[in-house]
Structures are given as C-alpha cells and as structure tokens.
Amino acid sequence: MSKIIATDLDGTLFYPKDKKEMIYKPNLFFLQSFVDNGGKLILISGRSFKYCQKVIRKIDRETAVVSYNGACVFDGKNVIFENTLNNKDASELINDIGQEYKNPGVFLMTEKGLFVHLRSKSKLVRQIYIWYYKSQKVYAEDLHVGEDLFEEQLKNGKIYKFMFFFGLGKKMRDKASKVTKILRNMNDNIEANWSGNVVEITPRGCSKNVALKFLLNKQGWEEKDLYVVGDSGNDISMFKEFHENSFCMGHSPKTVSKYAKYTIDKFEDLSRYIFEK
C-alpha cells in the first residue's frame, strides 16, 4: 500500500475523546493496521512537537509529524524544517490585539512548553484555568503558569506559535473569526488561522498545506496518494490544496466542512474510502 494519511489530532484522531488511553481504540487499531499494510502516516496538528512524540509512542508505528501548524516538520527520523516568530514582533502584536480587543488570554508555544498570559489578575480566575487544563489529563500540553515565565519566553524563547483566546460562546467565536480576517489582511510576516474561540499565529509560510507539500517532496511521496482529514479552521488550507481526498469530521462547523470533499462521522470511517480504492 502506497497511500498516505495526514490526520489532525484534536477533534479528529482524538474523537471521541478517551482521557485515559488518548486514542479511541477503533481509531488506534485502524491506524496500526494501515501502517502495517504499507501505509504512511503523518500527524498534522497545531500541537507541539513534544506532545506529538507522545502520540507516536501511543501509535507505536513509524510516523512523520507536522506540528505547530507547520512551523516544525519531522520526517520520522529527524526534524527537517523549523521556523519561529520574531520575539519583538510577537510581543508587539500581542500588545496591540490585547489593547484593541481585550481578549482574556494568550497562549505561547515555545520549545520549553506552553505559557499562559491572562488579562485577569484574579487568583480565582487563574486557578479555574489551571483546574480546567489539568482536567484534560492525557490531552494536556506541558503547561507553565506565571506572568514572569510568559514574559521571559516572549522575550527570549523560540516561539513556534501563539494563540489569542477570546472566551466562550458563539459571540466570542465570531469575534475570533473577525480578528483572524483582519490579521490576514494587515500583517505580512505571520499566518493567522481561526480555530473556534482561538486565533492561531504562526510564522509566514507555516501552514498545514505548505508543510505537507514540503514533506511529500522530501520523502518522494505522491500527492495523489494523500488523504487529509481534519475538523477546524487550520485544516482548511489542506482541504483546499488536496481536495480530491479531503475529509472533514461531521461535527465540524459548516464554515469548515464546506471546503472538504467528504464528511465522515468517525475517524475510522476513512477505512471505507482507503481500502476500497
């Protein structure tokens, strides 16, 4: 089998959630069987490379990785590409958006983990964020809380990605979508992707479709053999680029699913398309 699956994690491979095992067993068994029969696997996610390595260990098969929405590419043996944001530019953008839109939080992803800045100074609010994050169990990134830690990483860390959090509810999702469009039109050195209540920022040229094309070229893999699957705004670029074999999860918003050729209810439903072709 020469086919290739590039799968998103949250809401896709991690659907439905299994906070004890990480990957729902039917999804895991399908992927293991796919690789054992000659298939190639790519994890493509906004998550950190460090977290994706945990997923590889869980799958227990050779796997390539596109992490931070394309800012880091791993071919299964080595990191073959990485790009980071300019620290000063990141700091200025975080400050500008905070002043203009009063977003309640920013999440910064560097080589040392996930760092959080919260607008609220309330100890209770901060504790609620920590409790919520810890409740994610196996899905939690390596979280670091503290404004001093955030500022140090903002100044000196290798910033692969950061995220503006706009709060909960439909109004905040709409606000995040609006800010994403504004940032795309006004800033030449970043990529902005909308993902629910969050706007994700990566270096210019770092997106899922660009990273996939780069990885395919380096590995000598054919685009016609690629099947892409996801569920959120940061997956739209790969739905459009590799439309012929693009799959969106059924629980995704229509603003996302309209870009994919197929809709599936469960990740393992991919088997019907892959093994029949």
pLDDT digits (tens, 9 = 90+) for 15-61: 999 999 999 999 999 999 999 999 999 999 999 999 999 999 999 99
CA Rg, the chain, in Å?
18
Q: Is 44 helix (H, G, I), strand (E, B) or coil?
A: strand
Tokens describing residue 120: 């609220």
List of residues 6+ apart from 178 with CB closer than 8 A: none
- Phi, psi angles (nearest 5°) of residue 268: -65, -15
CA 105 to chain centre: 18
C-alpha to C-alpha distance for 105 and 145, rounded to whole angstroms: 12
SS3 226: strand
Bigger pLDDT: 67 vs 272: 67
pLDDT for the residue 212? 98
pLDDT at 119 over 60: yes
| CATH 2.60.40.10 corresponds to the domain 87-203 | no
pLDDT tens, position by position, 160-205? 999 999 988 999 999 999 999 999 988 888 999 988 899 999 999 9
Dump pLDDT digits (tens) for 86-115. 999 999 999 999 999 999 999 999 999 999
At position 12, the amino acid (one-letter code) is: T
Confidence of residue 126 (pLDDT cuts 50, 70, 90): confident
Q: Where are the domains of the chain?
A: 4-82+206-274, 87-203
CATH architecture of the region 4-82+206-274: 3-Layer(aba) Sandwich (3.40)
Number of H helices, E strands in the chain: 10, 14
Q: Cβ of 260: how many Cβ atoms within 10 Å?
A: 25
Residues whose CB is less than 8 angstroms from the CB of residue 233 and which lie 6 or more positions away in sequence, other chains included: 177, 180, 193, 194, 195, 196, 255, 256
